[in-house]
Structure 1
Amino acid sequence: MDLMIANQKSLRNLTVLIIGAGPAGLSAAIQLERYGIDYIIIEKNKAGGLLLNAEKVVNYPGFPHGVKGTELAKLFTSQVQIRKIIKDEVIKTGYREKYFETRTKLSNYKSEYLIIASGTNPRNTNVIINKSAEKKVYYDVINLSHHKGKTFAISGSGDAAFDYALTLSKYNKVIIYNRADKIKCLKKLYDRALQDNNIKYVKNISVLKAFASGNGLALTLSNNNRIVVSYFVIAAGREPALDFINSDKELENLIKSNRLCIIGDVVNGIYRQVSIAAGQGIKAAMEIYYQLNKENN
């Protein structure tokens, strides 16, 4: 996983570089802060990650009545020095001569250790999205929850689709389209959605195409009908965001030696839970701390 950055003087030297400011990355930062270990977090979007989408987190310890995802994200972020969260995007990272070299859109970094907590990207779908419609098609609801009096269509059948619907339905109308007849979400989420007068659930119908229509968005459905909505949200699954790193034998060795930690949703598959990610972040920071002590003694 070699990466050659020609101008070595342009590299900013760090002990630990963290990629991603979701629950895993922020938890690692909190623990590194406790140890007094130098670090920087690179985050291309908003600190909090997909936690910002959650209508309510009900299984995070310490909140018996649940907590809004945005509120929990604020609590995580409040424990990290804001100046250490840099809004930037990682282009490529590699390892050579005992250091990681990471290239971003705005800078270059050199670190002894690397924590990858980059989360996930939306999975590609078969929906044809006309260029004129792109600004009204979303893959999460982080930037949509402020809308009122709009109509949203959501494609999906998992936890995300129904959670997004519950977030948006407070002040808007929502239609969930499931291409199959079975749901993949928790029954409690499904039941809550069915009891919400602002949410309509439609099974065995998929969205085939999206294109602009006046001030709205026209969707062509698999039953040959067409509807017009304000926005379209695709919640068709996610995949690891690891396109900036090459997978090879050296990568495995770096993980074994605790030089590289890959944590959170990016590696957790179906176990994408805040508490799991947070625990992994703490553990990663502890492993680095003990590794540093071993090397310095």
Structure 2
Amino acid sequence: CVKGVSITEYCDREKLSIEERLELFLQVCEGLQHAHQKGVIHRDIKPSNILVSIEGDKAVPKIIDFGVAKAITQPLTERTLYTEQGQLIGTPEYMSPEQAEMTAQGIDTRSDIYSLGVMLYELLTGALPFDRKTLERAGFGEIQRIIREEDPPRPSTRLTSLGEEAEKVAKSRRTEVATLARRLHKELEWIPLKAMRKEQTHRYRSASELADDIQNYLNGAPLIAGPESAAYRLKKFVRRRRALVTGVAAVLVVLVTGIVVSTIFAIGQARAHVEAER
């Protein structure tokens, strides 16, 4: 029996910062990548299936409950997809659109990537993309429609819509609401939104690629989820290599100043020579 508390409970209880939450989430990505490499799709990734325990002085998340997992090489049957007619396998709040379809087609490792995206969204904002109460009140068909068709709100928008609850969320992340909303709005929210794309081909290709992009964010590098524009890439380069860019700029200023001074001096010399010949 694996001991520990859910990853969301642990993060809030310990008031982990955004950076600390991302570092912990990286370990989850690594664990899921290992499972995928072994040929297993979990199909029910959610906070209560990620238990965090302390080993030594380090928090270690472990993925549990592979009860609805399937082998990648083994085709799904109706029996493994749902236990009875009209009952979803997995948890609706964290379920990918292709799982909500309830067919044997299309479920692969990227279905788990979607669920990781939802969990990351919750770790950042303290809220789910689709309100749990709304899903609980909805009928079976409406749940499917929401998951398959509705786009989740941007994390920064979701945070600011929480009202007084947003203060509690920010406090549990050792920050202020306005500060957290700004951080989310810039680049951080691109990551869970890419993981939760409706089209599987638009998501991260693997848990390791998702982890790489989180590491990119932590390192200040351009994000895989970011725009392909040269302006964005240049801006990130300048930010990461500020000292180098400043040094190069200083050298350029000296060179340009030298060229200008030399040119002015040469023009002055030429004029003096012309005057002397007169």
The TM-score, its normalising length taken from structure 1, stands at 0.26
Structure with bigger helix share is 2
- Select the structure of larger CA radius of gyration: 2
Report which structure shows greater RCO (CA 8 Å, sep ≥6).
1
